[in-house]
Amino acid sequence: MNTMTTTATTTVLDASDVTMRFGGLTAVRSVSLTVNSGEIVGLIGPNGAGKTTFFNCLTGLYVPTEGKVSYKGTVLPPKPHLVTQAGIARTFQNIRLFANMTVLENVLVGRHTRTKEGLWSALLRGPGFKKAEAASHERAMELLEFIGLAHKADHLARNLPYGEQRKLEIARALASEPGLLLLDEPTAGMNPQETRAAEELIFAIRDQGIAVLVIEHDMRFIFNLCDRVACLVQGEKLVEGTPETVQSDERVIAAYLGTPFEGAPGAEEVAEVEAAEAAAPGTDSRTEDPK
């Protein structure tokens, strides 16, 4: 298992008693979670557990019904672009690249929250704009070098292999210079070699001082990667601890095997929550903020 390399830690993310209701259905109930500097934290749970809904509450796509989310001690505004500007970036379970833009252009899109030039500066293309444009280009190429795609900077994103598209999405998120990176199933659909490369990339991101919170269904991947793991079941945090603690917890094993335990929801309840999450406003991939 990975171990943290920093000696002094500070709280980067503090989600306190986050609850998200859709009408009469509660998708997330009183979930609290912290992520510290230099730490990789995993979020696991069966389908319909509320993991992505919780992520959406952290990143401003949803306004929690109850509870609060703070980044480095400041309560986050309920707007995705303001959350990104504050220092949190994310990827999505389904790849959200701009398919007809180049690899480089996709990364440059992620730079917009860190550029100060306005409309008139862009139209007049004065010295300030040209300097900012050159700096963004340089940083974008550095990120492509970091993920191993600098040699494909001019390729269209749609022509990349699946694993490289996943890497590019991470590079675009990193372009906003986050202090916390949220990854929603970063290895979904990957083969073992691509999964191993993703693991090494996430370790390298952590080593650059960026904290990471990751949702994943690949248990071997998550337990090898993370310092701490939290398990959600039916929108509630069942257990949190080291990978060894969580993977040996009988309630976690029962939840993944489909074995009922005391207080476990029935299939009808799970289906209701899944349907409510799918129908919630802001989940259409054509309208969500690409950051």
Domain ranges of the chain: 11-87+178-279, 97-176
Place of tokens 């950051």: 291
Q: Say whether 79 sits in a helix, a strand or coil.
A: coil
**pLDDT 10s digits, 125-163:** 556 656 767 888 899 999 999 999 999 999 999 999 998
**pLDDT 10s digits, 192-244:** 999 999 999 999 999 999 999 999 988 889 999 999 999 999 899 999 999 99
Helix, strand, coil % over all residues of the chain, rounded to 5: 40, 20, 35
Determine if the pTM surpasses 0.85. no
Strand residue runs (E) in the chain: 11-22, 25-36, 40-44, 66-71, 74-75, 88-90, 180-184, 211-215, 228-233, 236-241
Backbone angles phi, psi at 90, to 5 degrees: -145, 160
Place of tokens 């490369």: 197
Average per-residue pLDDT for the chain: 84
Query: For 11-87+178-279, which CATH class?
Result: alpha beta
